[in-house]
Chain A
Amino acid sequence: MTTRIVELRQGILKKNDELARGLRSRFNEAGVLVLNLVSSPGTGKTAFLERTLRELRDSGSRVAALVGDLETDNDARRLASSGAPVRQINTHGICHLEAEMIGKHLEGWELADLDYLFIENVGNLVCPSSYDLGEKVRVALLSVTEGEDKPLKYPTLFNSADAAIITKMDIAEPCGFDRAAALKNINEIRPGIRIFETSAKTGAGMPEWLAYLAEERLRRA
């Protein structure tokens, strides 16, 4: 017997990273802006996305969405009511989406016919942050009911985000939401990040968010 040390220096998620790179170049070529929406369960990702899809469609944009959940196609059915093409990804117990699942669920869609593709990740503030899905913009969502210190508790996710959305602003007051603290905490983890204060119910913050999407599409796609 001889003992030997073999150097590997290999990324553990190499397979996912390679698939994500492939997806990213496909998205770039097609000129579609892809966003990955991440939050805890119950933040209101689906309601926020529902409104975003509807408003984008009303303004003439071509949009589609992939939505990840452990089980059920409830969210896909809700989102489809916006009229946009939507596909459900059931992970059956896996706590995050992976690039391979995205690739598989895009089959048959002509990416060049889309302006925006939204990916709603599984509700989870930890695991999705390790998995690149080929997106251009990672969006972290936080609701006014969750506690202003959430970004401090989950720095790995908030630090990897490109934009932050505060949801349910319409009930901020009864929830005793400390807006200044929330903004400060997000900035403490991800200095300079764009933050949108929104309500899917009243439509507050949506014009700013849609303007940002249009800007990002032109800048990056």
Chain B
Amino acid sequence: MHELSIVSSIVDTVIEKLEAYPGARVKEVRLRVGALAAVVEDSLQFCYEIATEDTPLQGSKLVVNIVPVLMHCERCAQDVEIASLQSFRCPRCDEPVSDLRQGRELEIESIEIDEVEEKV
């Protein structure tokens, strides 16, 4: 499982971002994960707890938003959501579809932080 490497990258990226917000604590990290991204949410959550220990992310919540797979169907001339990952066919016309438009995303969408107010 490569979820631990993925979570470590998340922690590194967020800590880098926090440089602009000194002293801030992270409350929530939101991810966009494609249904074809080869990542298991349970594993991510498990690794997240370990990888965030003793960092400004400790105790924060990891929210994983799954992005469905969208394929372009030439016959229907539109992007369609496939019914299952076991069959790459257009749900409207049953034509095989190979042009992937969405579903491999693996990104940090946003973070929610508590900022320390500047002392006057």
Contact = CB atoms under 8 A, between A and B. Distances in A.
Contacts of B109: 7-9
Contacts of A159: 36, 85, 88, 100
A13 B9 contact: yes
B108 to A, nearest CB: 4
Contacts of A130: 2, 6, 37-39, 106
Given A4-B112, A12-B10, A191-B96, A156 B36 contact: yes
A2 interface: yes
Contacts of A94: 2, 5
Interface of A: 1-15, 94-96, 126-127, 129-131, 152, 155-157, 159-160, 187-193
Contacts of B9: 12-13, 15
Interface of B: 1-2, 5-6, 9-10, 13-14, 17, 21, 27, 31, 36-39, 85-89, 96-98, 100, 104, 106-117
Nearest to A127: B2
A2 B117 CA distance: 7
Chain A's interface: helix, strand, loop or mixed, by majority? mixed
B106 A6 contact: no
B28 to A, nearest CB: 9
Contact of B112 (A5, A10, A191): A5
B97 A191 contact: yes
A71 to B, nearest CB: 17
A155 B111 contact: no
A6 B17 CA distance: 9
Contact of B96 (A12, A96, A192): A192
B37 A2 contact: no
Contacts of B89: 188, 191
A15 B101 CA distance: 22
A17 B51 CA distance: 22
B1 A126 contact: yes
A6 B1 contact: no
Contacts of B106: 11-13, 130
Contact of B6 (A2, A13, A156, A193): A13
Contacts of B1: 95, 126-127
Which 7 residue pairs across A and B have the least CB separation, nearest first? A191-B96, A127-B2, A156-B38, A155-B85, A8-B108, A191-B98, A152-B86
